Amino acid sequence: MVNLPTTPTDIIPFIIAIVTSHTFITLVIFPGFIHLTIVVMFLTWYERKLLARIQLRIGPLYAGGPGGILQPIADGVKLIFKEIMIPYKAEKPLFLGIPLALVFLGALPFAVIPFGQHWVIADLDVGLVFIFAVASLFPSMILIFAWASNSKYPFLGGLRSLFQQVAYEIPMWISALSVVMLAGSLNLVQIVDAQHKIWFIGPAFLSFIVFFIATMAELERLPFDLPSAEPELVAGWFTESSGAVFMVIFLALYMKLYLMSSLITVLFLGGWWGPTFLPQPVWFILKTLVVATAIIIPRGVYARLRVDLLIKVGWTRLLIIALVNVFITVVLVSTGMLPGLGL
């Protein structure tokens, strides 16, 4: 590390040394803030384009630049300058604070996601559990926000969101358990390293399916979008949000979409591994975008489930399939049928 400046002339070299250090670059530029902002804005644009193609809606196509690529910026500027409506008798500090907490918690886990062998902000020993712990704060946040809005639709949507996320969190954990057992570590860098030869989608295929479905339910994507079912609940738990509050919630939701897609890439799709003609982060982002596409597409295709069926499926089918895969992994690993996984 560089020495702290003692004389005024030392300050500029000090700043340059800080700015060019690997830590600073990982924090601010590549897996850090700038990259995250760009990708999340891209995802909002990408989802619109994709759905427009699927459902033949050619709406936001002409908002400046090729293919309406400036649309997210236009949206952002529009939303920032709109009025923030705070419902009558709402809990003001919670109503304004929870959206910020949501976007903060959505972006915090990116610190442990490895975008390449050295492209990770914090190489944490308990990375996977850290992500799950942070993600487990979302349901209560959403419930509190819905309660703070003092309106019936958000409250109903918030309760649905709570039960749905709670029902799908456990299958998600148990399906990730097989991966942890195969890699023998909770460190995400080591988990990706262990997939050098075989991606874990092979030995843990059932887990992959469970994890993918659980991810869609956690993200409240169709066919699991009950908490924000437009025909029934207006806009679900964020019905009363407007202006900047709405923008921040929107941002948090896309942040979570990117987070869960990259988590699937890390756990099952071999992370940064790929033919060497492209650099590692490029492979990682390509895979993540493919996963995100697979999560977005059903929105243009499916209808939604009923809430009690949804919860029942999560607790009976998915949990049992995930447990079956854990047993398969126990047998596979303890009989030595999976050599050369870095075990």
Residues 89-118 that bind other proteins (CB under 8 A): 90-91, 94, 96, 99-100, 103-104, 107-108, 110-112
Interface residues for other proteins in 285-304 (CB under 8 A)?
none
* Among 11, 16, 38, 343, interactor with other proteins by CB under 8 A: 343
**Can you say how many angstroms the Cα of residue 225 is from the centroid of all Cα atoms in its chain?**
16
Structure tokens at 329: 């992994």
Site string for other proteins, 1-40 (x = CB under 8 A): xxxx----------------x-x---xx---xx-------
Residues numbered 226 to 245 that lie near other proteins (CB under 8 A) are 234, 239-240, 243-245
Look-up: residue for tokens 């988990």?
Answer: 191
Q: Give 300 or 342: the residue with its C-beta nearer to other proteins.
A: 342
Piece in contact with other proteins (CB under 8 A), picked from 59-67, 180-188, 214-222, 273-281: 180-188
CB of 220 to other proteins, least distance (A): 16
Count of residues of this chain found to bind other proteins when the rule CB under 8 A is applied: 93
Distance CA 214, CA 181 (A): 20
Could you say which of 11, 16, 19, 80 contacts other proteins (CB under 8 A)? 80
Please calculate the CA angle 302-268-123 and round it to the nearest 5 degrees: 125
For other proteins, the binding residue among 39, 43, 121, 216 (CB under 8 A) is 121
Contact mark string toward other proteins, 245..284, x via CB under 8 A: x-xx--x---------------------------------
Question: DSSP 3-state helix, strand, coil percentages of the chain (rounded to 5)?
Answer: 70, 0, 30
Nearest approach, Cβ of residue 300 and other proteins (Å): 27
Task: Confirm if 237 and 227 have CB atoms less than 8 A apart.
Answer: yes
Tell me the one-letter amino acid at 122: A
- Our CB check for other proteins shows the closer of 42 and 300 to be 42
**Considering only residues 210, 216, 296, 311, which one is a binding residue for other proteins as defined by CB under 8 A?**
311
Helix (H) or strand (E) holding 169: helix 152-183
| C-alpha span between 37 and 34 (Å, rounded) | 5
Site for other proteins in 154-173 (CB under 8 A): 155, 159, 162-163, 166-167, 169-170, 173
Work out how close the CB of 216 gets to other proteins at its nearest, in angstroms, rounded to a whole number: 19
Closest CA to 86 of 196, 244, 216, 207: 244
What is the footprint of other proteins within residues 129-158 (CB under 8 A)?
129-130, 132-134, 136-137, 139-140, 143-144, 147, 149-153, 155
Which amino acid does the sequence have at 294?
A
Dihedral sign from CA coordinates of 272, 212, 294, 64: negative
Quote the DSSP letter at residue 308.
H
CA distance 242 to 272: 38
Find tokens 């977005």 and name the residue: 296
Question: CB under 8 A: which stretch of 54-62, 121-129, 222-230, 256-264 binds other proteins?
Answer: 121-129
Q: Which structure tokens are listed for 337?
A: 């049928």
d(C-alpha 192, C-alpha 116), whole Å: 9
Q: CA 290, CA 137: separation in Å to the nearest integer? A: 27
CB of residue 45 to other proteins, shortest distance in Å:
19
* Cβ-based nearer residue to other proteins, 76 or 300: 76
Question: Smallest distance, Å, CB 132 to other proteins?
Answer: 6
